[in-house]
Chains A and B, each alone.
Chain A
Amino acid sequence: MVTATGPTPSQDADPGRQHGSRRALDREDLHRYLTTLEGWREFTTQDPAPPDLLTANQLAGLDDDGRLDYDDGRLDYHTRLTVAATSTLRAAVHAGRRLTLLNRHAISARRGLILSGAAGTGKTTALTQFGKTIEVIDRRQHPGVDRIPVVYVTVPPAATLRMLAVEFARFLGLPVTTRANITDVIEAVCGVLIDARVSVVCVDELHNLSLTTRNGAEVSDTLKYFSERIPATFVYAGVELEANGMFNGTRGRQIAGRFTVIDTAPFPRTQEWTGLVSTFEEALRLHHHQPKTLEKLANYLHQRTGGMIGTLSHLIRGAAVDAILDGTEKITRQSLERVKLDRATQTRKIKPAS
């Protein structure tokens, strides 16, 4: 979690700026509903073009409202910035597509994919980008047909069988009231997903499931039941699943026997890291930012983030938002220093770059 240094008190008092940030946050809200069909569809169809940077003359010609709208658009853009195509992301998408094709005609024992690694190593990004890829391909192959090619759910903390079934129902928009019988909910979920030709089921936050507890074992069995009923490729993501015992015991061994595991890890300080930093830098839309400033700071950024792609993205986006809010319109080492990072990164022992 990144805590960007906020705007100065004088900016806080500026209602226009508050209004701009508020609107950006409202739009960001939509992204929070990735676990609903409407939110997921919005995520998979939106590909916002970067805003054009106005010239100094054009900027000078804007009235106050125009300037606020212009900055508001750029703030919104920088809160998301871009998705860097890391080697991990490419490997996940490639392996996922391969499995989807192999599973197409399998009548049982379909194979799945697991993304496992430390927090901030890009598991969720890889999972959602893979889902988005499948959704886009399906839409191209079946234009105008109302299908649900991808489902994205998260395992709630201390999940029970009912909670998991409700998560699937909630994604689809199936009503679940206190009167709902859990068997009926599971039947409805399976029926709708089979009719809608689902091909990929993404299950995130799998570390919330513990196979050593009765509830965890029931949730695991339900996931297995879903994978047998629904002819789709199941892709799981979670924090350090192997260390958390996901592949232990009878259930664990069965999962291990059916799932390919891609381990996500912090990036070493290689040319790929510099490339990732450049990708983020090229996506920036700041008026006074000097090109290649961040590229030259690649060593510092690696030390600061510990090679965590999620933390790097937060750091650069946080500094970009600050640069628009405080009007400096550029990212420097000093402005990066002002962005507070997550506790895990702050407390990590910094090793000198090799």
Chain B
Amino acid sequence: MTSRTDAGDRPRLLPVRPRPKAGETTDSYVRRLARANHLKPSYLRGYLVGPPDYGQGKRPRADRLAAVTGRRQNMLERALVVDLARQRRPAAGARHKGPRPTSRTTMPSDAPAVG
């Protein structure tokens, strides 16, 4: 049962979606959103942090807040005092993280053939 709700955890629209107030903190907006939907604010905040740990104390993710409210992420970021976590997206053409490739040791066999 739980796997059905957690698996592929794609947030759905909440049934009640109050508008964010200009200059409101994200925490205040999440609290209002939770109360409107009869949820505990800490539970909704954890849900907005997302998998794997739905961690408390971490910042809600902007894309998840946008998904549950049906509002555009950039609109939320403009309206709210931004303390949202942005999902990291690799920039186009950016190198993957990992150990830097080491330069190969030049061997005598690499020298141009003489004569």
Task: Give the interface of A toward B (CB within 8 A).
Answer: 36-38, 146, 148, 160, 162-163, 166, 170, 172-180, 184, 187-188, 190-192, 195-196
Contact = CB atoms under 8 A, between A and B. Distances in A.
B13 A191 contact: no
Interface stretch (B33-41, B73-81, B89-97, B105-113): B33-41
B24 interface: no
Interface in B25-65: 37-40, 43-44, 46-47, 54
B1 A162 contact: yes
B47 A192 contact: no
State the 8 A-B residue pairs at the shortest beta-carbon distance, nearest first.
A191-B38, A188-B38, A173-B12, A172-B15, A175-B47, A178-B2, A176-B5, A173-B13
A195 B18 CA distance: 14
Contacts of A173: 12-15, 68
A192 B2 contact: no
A158 to B, nearest CB: 11
Contact of A175 (B2, B11, B16, B38): B11
B1 A163 contact: yes
A184 B42 CA distance: 12
B83 interface: no
Contact of A192 (B11, B15, B43): B15
Nearest to B15: A172
A174 B6 contact: no
Interface of B: prevailing SS? loop
Nearest to B2: A178
Given A175-B44, A175-B47, A178-B6, A187 B15 contact: no
A184 B14 contact: no
B38 to A, nearest CB: 3
B43 A180 contact: yes
Given A174-B15, A184-B43, A192 B38 contact: yes
Given A175-B47, A177-B5, A192 B37 contact: yes
A177 B15 contact: no
Contacts of B40: 184
A182 to B, nearest CB: 11
Contacts of B5: 166, 170, 175-178
Nearest to A169: B5
Central interface residue in A148, A174, A191, A195, by most chain B CB within 10 Å: A174
Given A36-B12, A148-B15, A177 B54 contact: yes
Contacts of B44: 175
Of A38, A175, A180, A196, chain B has the most CB atoms within 10 Å of the CB of A175
A170 B68 CA distance: 13
B1 A177 contact: no
Contacts of A190: 38
Given A172-B15, A187-B38, A179 B1 contact: no
A184 B41 CA distance: 12
A166 B4 CA distance: 10
Contacts of B39: 174-175, 184, 188
A38 B47 CA distance: 21
A166 B5 CA distance: 9
Contact of A179 (B4, B37, B46): B46
16 contacts: A37-B13, A146-B16, A166-B4, A172-B15, A173-B14, A173-B68, A174-B14, A174-B39, A175-B43, A175-B68, A177-B47, A178-B2, A184-B39, A184-B40, A195-B16, A195-B38
Nearest to A178: B2
A319 B12 CA distance: 38
A233 B6 CA distance: 31
Given A188-B37, A191-B38, A179 B14 contact: no
Given A36-B12, A175-B12, A177-B2, 10 more contacts: A166-B5, A174-B15, A175-B11, A175-B44, A175-B47, A176-B2, A178-B5, A178-B6, A184-B40, A187-B38
Contacts of B47: 175, 177
Contacts of B38: 187-188, 190-192, 195
Nearest to A196: B15
B54 to A, nearest CB: 6
Contacts of A148: 15
